Amino acid sequence: EAAVTQSPRSKVAVTGGKVTLSCHQTNNHDYMYWYRQDTGHGLRLIHYSYVADSTEKGDIPDGYKASRPSQENFSLILELASLSQTAVYFCASSGGYQDTQYFGPGTRLLVL
């Protein structure tokens, strides 16, 4: 089974602070994704990457940056956290653009 891990698993942040969420995969996958999950909105794509050192904007990129320093690692950065960014964040990886996406366990972020 493909393995995707996320850290931290939960975090409390202050409004205006910087938050970094990390994702690590051991699947040798080229594609990695960041989604957020909110009640009433399902899962929405924030950023994705199909090769190291390159990232692309998803459907809701505003307020978020992404970094892919290596094939295995993909980070999501909130430079100035806001209340509206309280959500559960999921990282996923896949071997190709029509392949199964394997999700991590999620990070529960609370911005106060």
Partner 1 sequence: QQKVQQSPESLSVPEGGMASLNCTSSDRNFQYFWWYRQHSGEGPKALMSIFSDGDKKEGRFTAHLNKASLHVSLHIRDSQPSDSALYFCAATSITGNTGKLIFGLGTTLQVQP
Residue closer to partner 1, measured from CB, 66 or 104: 104
DSSP state of 15: T
Sign of CA dihedral 87, 92, 68, 2: positive
Q: How far is the CB of 36 from partner 1 (least distance, A)?
A: 11
Site string for partner 1, 76-95 (x = CB under 8 A): --------------x-x-x-
Find, among 84, 86, 89, the residue nearest to 103 by Cα: 89
Q: Is 100 in the site for partner 1 (CB under 8 A)?
A: yes
Q: Which of residues 24-43 bind partner 1 (CB under 8 A)?
A: 31, 33, 40-43
Q: How far is the CB of 72 from partner 1 (least distance, A)?
A: 18
Which residues, including other chains, have CB under 8 Å from residue 107's CB and lie 6 or more apart?
A: 6, 7, 8, 9, 10, 11, 21, 88, 89, 90
Residue closer to partner 1, measured from CB, 7 or 100: 100
CA distance 24 to 36: 17
Q: Which residues bind partner 1 (CB under 8 A)?
A: 4, 31, 33, 40-45, 48, 50, 56, 58-59, 90, 92, 94, 96-106
